[in-house]
Structure 1
């Protein structure tokens, strides 16, 4: 399959960047983002980014801040430029000059269990329902759902093999009995439709030889949420957030959830404690244990 980043003629420097990212198993979306962000810096310079100085980087970041570029976007550009200067042009001294800005992390949107059920039931076909059920039932990222292959479903060990997760990491995701039954239904229907093959994609796109796109999965979630009268702003990642939050509320150990999500840092998983409302409700307040306001406690007159 031709690499979409190589379709147009490119400079040797850009090719070297692509080779460095491919060597480290970066996903295509990450590669596109890094190439775009390094290109943005090159446009600012008006010359090759490999000729940059520390003062150029400082002026670039100050200019971004003055132009009102959102902090998450600025930090994404820092990641791209740090990789470029560290690995592609071997200038780690410049990488150290880049400043990553702190910003408050927003609480993720989480659906209730009833809302998840309504959303899944509002999908328009079995393929869409199965794809969104994988996102929620296994806690996968949208790109991981998109690139699943039929062979990644391990019914003997009840696992989904994620070959190219975030950062190119491999991991196993959980596969519940109900989800396996749904995937088997989709397998039969997909075979009848002529779009499913044993060595093919689990969720083919409009062309059976290509996987469903992340953009299409996002549209499917949004349309299902609208059909289910869910007013929250949702996307495929909302199902992953809901998976983690519901597991936490059910008492699943946070380190197990970390493994299931494929988080490199426990801090990222611990963030879900802020939205696990059922967990908060199960805690008894020390005020309640005083018994002051129960029948038999203090009288209205003191």
Structure 2
């Protein structure tokens, strides 16, 4: 059989197996797209050979190509390696000894970009509407971008001044603070979202995607107000899991582009992303005297060593070192 015809036979079946395996293990749709993309690139790099016919030499060659010729970052190279390890271990069921001997690229230690409180106000001042509210939650509650977009109505506890973050990084839940200054604007925003939800219901829509098997266990839960996203998308789309028409949360690029433009408007020369607000949240809490264990819990870090990185960028007026130029 010619290679082109062989590809038509093997490629769809293999990638479908990868998708099925990822979904059985409750990986996110975002991770699924990334893993499938890397596996496809690996196959194409080696002339459309089936991964079952390849081994450590081919994996090393692919990873080396990424580092030497495509100049990818260490984190990107490790992402590609994780995709291939998943393929061989869980899809092809190939417990080969060489899988455990593959070394991951070492990520260089990078200090996070942190804004001053004045710079945060300038960037937020260049935003408006729901984008301002989302960016304010990123900074005010220390949220990751997808944690903010994935908030559901039931996860906002106004009386307790808390946000419940579900299924965050590592599959863990946590509770973080809801800023008092955002309570009013957030309630006004939810009132507008509820109006949109009621319009959807009258139009025969109003359903939202539910995590895991809740869609089968509670068929009508996806229509309830409590399960709706706090920041819904402007359009209805088709769920890749159920095929139903649902209103998903806002697209990440919507806020990413808005924050990037706001930073330029505020004349911030450093690159500013949604995650910059999370870095700034942690650093400013430490500078104000909050103990590092509390900051670790609010951020949802598994290890306090991860939180310690912010001690290297916080302002420390009592550090005891004075530049010789100042003398």
Q: Same fold (TM over 0.5)?
A: yes
Give 1:244's aligned residue: 282
C-alpha distance in structure 1 between counterparts of 2:228 and 2:17, whole Å: 31
Give 2:202's aligned residue: none
Q: Which shows bigger deviation, 260-269 or 138-147?
A: 260-269
Which of these residues, 162, 181, 185, is aligned with residue 184 of structure 2?
181
Which of these residues, 103, 111, 114, is aligned with residue 110 of structure 1?
114
Alignment of 1:1-302 (within 5 A): 11-45=12-46, 46-70=48-72, 71-92=74-95, 93-125=97-129, 127-191=130-194, 197-207=225-235, 209-276=247-314, 278=315, 280-285=316-321
C-alpha distance in structure 1 between counterparts of 2:87 and 2:177, whole Å: 36
Q: Is the 8 Å Cα contact of residues 195 and 204 (structure 1) preserved in structure 2? A: no
Give 2:214's aligned residue: none
Q: Is the 8 Å Cα contact of residues 63 and 81 (structure 2) preserved in structure 1? A: no
**1:80-101: per-residue Cα shift (whole Å, max 9, x none)?**
2222222222334342243211
**1:37-84: per-residue Cα shift (whole Å, max 9, x none)?**
121111122222233212222222233333143222212111222222
Any idea what SS the aligned residue of 2:227 has?
coil
1:173 CA displacement: 2.3
Closer, same or farther: CA 281–145 of 1 in aligned 2, 3 Å = same
C-alpha distance in structure 2 between counterparts of 1:252 and 1:189, whole Å: 35
C-alpha distance in structure 1 between counterparts of 2:188 and 2:92, whole Å: 51
Q: Is the 8 Å Cα contact of residues 164 and 175 (structure 2) preserved in structure 1? A: yes
Give 1:3's aligned residue: none
C-alpha distance in structure 1 between counterparts of 2:13 and 2:301, whole Å: 34
TM-score by length of 2: 0.76
Closer, same or farther: CA 60–137 of 1 in aligned 2, 3 Å = same
1:15 CA displacement: 2.6
Q: Is the 8 Å Cα contact of residues 122 and 266 (structure 2) preserved in structure 1? A: yes
Cα RMSD after superposing both structures: 2.6
Give 1:298's aligned residue: none
**1:110-140: per-residue Cα shift (whole Å, max 9, x none)?**
1111111121122132x11111111111111
Closer, same or farther: CA 64–230 of 1 in aligned 2, 3 Å = closer
TM-score by length of 1: 0.82
Runs (4+) off by over 6 Å: 193-196
Aligned length: 277
C-alpha distance in structure 2 between counterparts of 1:29 and 1:245, whole Å: 29
Gaps spanning 5+ residues in structure 1: where?
1-8, 288-292, 294-302
Q: Is the 8 Å Cα contact of residues 42 and 49 (structure 1) preserved in structure 2? A: yes
1:10 CA displacement: 7.2
